[in-house]
Amino acid sequence: MVERQKVAIFGGGGFIGSNLGHRLSAAGYECTLLDLVDNKLKLRFGNAPYRFDRCDISADDDAVDAVVADHDTVIHLAAHVHPSAFMHAPLDVVQLNLFDALKVVDACARHGRRLIHFSTCEVYGKARGSAEPFNEDRSDCVLGPIGSHRWIYGCAKQLLDRIVHAHGLRGDLDYTIVRPFNFVGPLMDRLVRPTETDNPRVFAHFMSALLFRRPMQLVDGGHSRRCFTYIDDGTAAIQRILEEPVATRNQIVNIGNPANETTIRDLAHSMRAIYRREFEPAADVPIVDVDSRTFYGDGYEDCDRRVPDIGKLRALGWAPHFDLERTLVSSMRYFFTHRDALLATL
């Protein structure tokens, strides 16, 4: 590790940002965490100090430029990330995830700073039933039709990946593009009370359902498959990438756990069984079906299957350690134990 390397993390107050900022700070990096809010940082750091600067990348262009100039490495996480947002605010998704993110990319190119940019596994789109893992340099990116506007997120992220890659071709940007596969763990999204209509990602939905004794809803039969990756494995991989600037220079790198593949239906059954075994034996929550039109509205299509090829990270000595059972038990234990603080703060 380079001693006291200065790292700026845009979107550093979110799920990945708060966990990553905590890990990198503990490892001796001088981290500046930039976000609209720092409530997750307060929960993650407790009494430990951290440097937070309020920054809206959509409005504070001068601040973005100054922060980039003042740090050695920039990690860009800020984005709209919930499929419900892709469905209900598609133009906001493009604005933040593409146009505003471009300010960070351009500033890194201008100031000669290393950029670790967060793309997504959703860029790969549909597997169309194939069990072949998604490879960063060989897999096609297969998105659905324009009328299925769910794909606007993957499309915006894909275009930005292509722009970052083009900067690399021009030789004016030192970057690594990171593609996470369904991280879960402490501080992922938030718990949703029965009176709220918030629509987070699936783990937070199912955990909320169990805590509040509401039905766990399976969208379109729960047949889609995901590889859930524990956040500590994810942040360890990001630290590895940070510490390997030469090997990861101008590369795209998947982060995920291919061994943790499950259907969403099996995820619901696993979480319910774990909840009863570990936390509240009497909890009896139904698992029900809902069609995607009712759950998300018109224009939803799903990624059927996303399995990462993690050969690049394995070659750097990283491997995931949390199997699916441990991933779920650890994540659920955090939400169960901290539920009062989470509900009061987020």
Q: Which residues are catalytic?
A: 153
- Residue 67 burial class via C-beta count within 10 angstroms: exposed 0-12, middle 13-18, buried 19 and up: buried
Comparison of 109 and 192: residue with beta carbon closer to ligand UGA: 192
Structure tokens at 245: 């600037």
User: Taking a C-beta distance cutoff of 8 angstroms, is the pair 7, 29 a contact?
Assistant: yes
How far is CA 63 from each of CA 8, 68, 75, 79, 103, rounded to the nearest angstrom?
Answer: 12, 9, 15, 18, 11
Q: How far apart are CA 149 and CA 92, in angstroms?
A: 13
Q: Which of 5, 18, 73, 224 touches ligand UGA by CB under 6 A?
A: 224
Site string for ligand NAD, 24-53 (x = CB under 6 A): -----------xxx----------------
182 near ligand UGA (CB under 6 A): yes
The 3-state DSSP class for residue 49 equals: coil
Instruction: Kindly state the smallest distance separating residue 49's Cβ from ligand UGA, in Å.
Output: 30
346 near ligand NAD (CB under 6 A): no
Q: Which does 226 bind (CB under 5 to 8 A by kind): ligand NAD, ligand UGA, none?
A: ligand UGA
**What DSSP state is assigned to residue 97?**
I
Instruction: Kindly state the smallest distance separating residue 286's Cβ from ligand NAD, in Å.
Output: 27
Element (H, E) at 53: strand 51-54
Q: Which does 208 bind (CB under 5 to 8 A by kind): ligand NAD, ligand UGA, none?
A: none
User: Taking a C-beta distance cutoff of 8 angstroms, is the pair 1, 27 a contact?
Assistant: yes
Q: Which of 41, 77, 236, 342 touches ligand NAD by CB under 6 A?
A: 77
217 near ligand UGA (CB under 6 A): yes
56 near ligand NAD (CB under 6 A): yes
Strands (E), 202-298: 216-219, 225-227, 229-230, 251-255, 261-263, 287-290
Comparison of 181 and 335: residue with beta carbon closer to ligand UGA: 181
Using CB under 6 A, which residues numbered 131 to 190 contact ligand NAD? 180, 182-183
Report the residue number whose CB is nearest to ligand NAD: 14
Site string for ligand UGA, 94-123 (x = CB under 6 A): --------------------------xxx-
Alpha-helical regions (H) of 61-216: 61-69, 83-88, 90-94, 101-111, 152-170, 202-211
Q: Which of 17, 125, 186, 320 touches ligand NAD by CB under 6 A?
A: 17
Q: Which does 117 bind (CB under 5 to 8 A by kind): ligand UGA, ligand NAD, none?
A: none
Q: How far apart are CA 84 and CA 249, in angstroms?
A: 34
- The sign one gets for the Cα dihedral 314, 316, 321, 323 is negative
The residue among 297, 195, 185 whose CA lies nearest residue 233 is 185
Comparison of 143 and 202: residue with beta carbon closer to ligand UGA: 202
User: Applying CB under 6 A, which part among 61-69, 129-137, 138-146, 201-209 lies near ligand UGA?
Assistant: 201-209
Q: Which does 134 bind (CB under 5 to 8 A by kind): ligand NAD, ligand UGA, none?
A: none
Using CB under 6 A, which residues numbered 252 to 281 contact ligand UGA? 264
> What angle do the packed helices 61-69 and 101-111 form, to 10 degrees?
40
> What angle do the packed helices 101-111 and 152-170 form, to 10 degrees?
10
Footprint of ligand UGA (CB under 6 A): 81, 83, 120-122, 180-182, 201-202, 205, 217-219, 222, 224, 226, 264, 302-303
Footprint of ligand NAD (CB under 6 A): 10-11, 13-17, 35-37, 55-58, 77-79, 81, 96, 118, 120-121, 180, 182-183
